[in-house]
Amino acid sequence: MMRSIYLVARRDYLGYVTAWGFWLGLLLTPFFLSLGIIGPALAASQTPERYYVVVDPDGALGPAMDEKTLDLKIDVIEAQIMALGALTGDGRKTAATFETAARESGDLAAALTAAGIDPETSNIEIPDDDFIRVEAPATTIDGLRPWLLGERLLDTPNGERPLFAALIKTDEGIEYWSENVTIGTVKNIAERAAISLARTAVFTAQEVPFSILDDVRAATPEILERKVREDAAQAAEVTAADIAPTVVSVAIAFTLWMLIFSVVNYLLMGTIEERSNKIFDTLLTSVKLPHLLAGKLLAVLAVSLTLMVFWAGGGIGAMTYAGSALPPDMSEMIAAVTAAVLKPGILIPALLSFLLGYLMYGAVFLAIGSLCDTVQEAQTLMSPMLVLLMVPLFMVFIAVSDPTSPVLAVMAWIPVFTPFLLILRAPLEPSLWEVLGQLSLMAVATAAILWAAARIYRAGAVHGAGVNDVLHWFKGFLPGMGKTKAG
């Protein structure tokens, strides 16, 4: 038995991995994935510096905008510190230290150092100066018009540049002039600066001490996130170990989804090839049908695992090579993730879900392929399957924002979604009866689907049943559609 499964799996596997399409996918998928991840950051870093001028007789608006520009950068860096700190539990303290230092010195790199973060080796990125205020070459809109239209260029430290926007303070308000009406960053900074200036003016007029804002800030209690633990003696701070299970379960569920989604073509094309090449009869006199199906599923699983091993190996290699890109606390994060993966409450349901989920969907795709002579025919039957497959992907997004959602709890009992949702809900440590119940239901459904798939496969392979037979079969269940016209 094992021999024939091995031989079928081996042939199919070698058939797939020696095809140029496999290598194309192997190489291009990480490329496009990287492009998707790096692209936005690359686009941001490639944004040209834009220059603006402020015409303000009082001379207060320009410096206030400089201050707000710095505030924005501080906010961006603080968000990065908080994100990294979420894994170690000291993000808030580090961010506060950074903010104080940044406001005192205005030097963001020095402020990071003061907060204990090496700006050279850490993953924290200091935002570029995308919008730079320069001295106005004229004080009226008529005078500035040639610069704003690009007819004349500003003389900047980076060479001659066009003028992006001009803010002119008048008695009626602050006029914002620019040829580009889609990028509103400068306008937003001006609004913040104007609010700040107005607040200062009103406080001064009302003789309210400006320090009152600092007092309010100081009096605001900090929200300290703590995790309730059974052992009260354990530290209650939320650390990487607390977050890792959720991260791991989302990653596994997404990987399973990716795996199933990516193997669709392999399973379909392989079976369509056999049907269109009329190999079934020869195969079925050499190997039992269940062994043939098992070999095929195994081959495609091996192809997927090969892809993943290549990609993971490449990723680790790239990260190791670019060692400076690793955050200093990566080792702690890796340890936490590894511990989460090895946790029996996650590992066992994940493995079982992975296996049963793959078998369940893989068998369906094999059955569909056996009914089709062409890819076009397969697409007819695949459309509802692809829609069905999109549902778990949405569930992944829900789980990221709210793993306790009742929607997830209910849908976890629907066998076709259980493989994903059981994994996603594992960090919540659902009760044993719930896990066993869902696993059992999924196992029964998988067995039923495998049984049905084998019968459909046999119908397609042996009796030449096709897409139209399936459509007729479905029509038989619809009122008025399965009947033959009399006469």
Positions that interact with other proteins (CB under 8 A): 4, 7-8, 11, 15, 18-19, 273-274, 276-279, 281-288, 462-463
- The nearer residue to other proteins, 7 or 110, going by C-beta atoms, is 7
Residue type, 307: L
Based on CB atoms, which residue is closest to other proteins, 24 or 201? 24
Q: Which is nearer to other proteins, 229 or 455 (CB)?
A: 455
Smallest separation, CB 277 to other proteins (Å): 4
Number of residues written out for the chain: 487
Q: Name the minimum Å distance from CB 450 to other proteins.
A: 19
Residues 6+ apart with CB under 8 A from 321: none
Least Å distance, CB 484 to other proteins, is: 13
Spatial neighbors of 304 by CB under 8 A, at least 6 apart, are 259, 262, 263
Pick the closer one to other proteins by CB: 295 or 415: 295
Residue 469 CB, nearest distance to other proteins (Å)? 11
Q: 227 vs 278, which CB is nearer to other proteins? A: 278
CB nearer to other proteins: give 24 or 312.
Answer: 24
Q: Which one, 267 or 442, has the nearer CB to other proteins?
A: 267
Least separation in angstroms between residue 296's CB and other proteins is 13
Of the two residues 15 and 127, which places its CB atom closer to other proteins in the complex?
A: 15
Smallest separation, CB 23 to other proteins (Å): 14
Angle at 133 between CA 40 and CA 183, to 5 degrees: 40
Q: Return phi, psi of residue 206, to 5°.
A: -85, 0
**Closer residue to other proteins in complex, CB, 19/436:** 19
Helical packing angle, 375-401 and 418-425, nearest 10°: 20
How near is the Cβ of 293 to other proteins at its closest, in Å? 15
We find the least distance from the C-beta atom of residue 6 to other proteins, in angstroms, to be 10
Q: In whole angstroms, what is the distance from residue 120 CA to residue 60 CA?
A: 35
Q: CB of 272: closest distance to other proteins in angstroms?
A: 12
Q: Which is nearer to other proteins, 18 or 404 (CB)?
A: 18
At its nearest, how many Å lie between other proteins and the CB of residue 108? 58
The first and second tokens of residue 477, run together, are 């269940």
243 near 87, Cβ under 8 Å?
A: yes
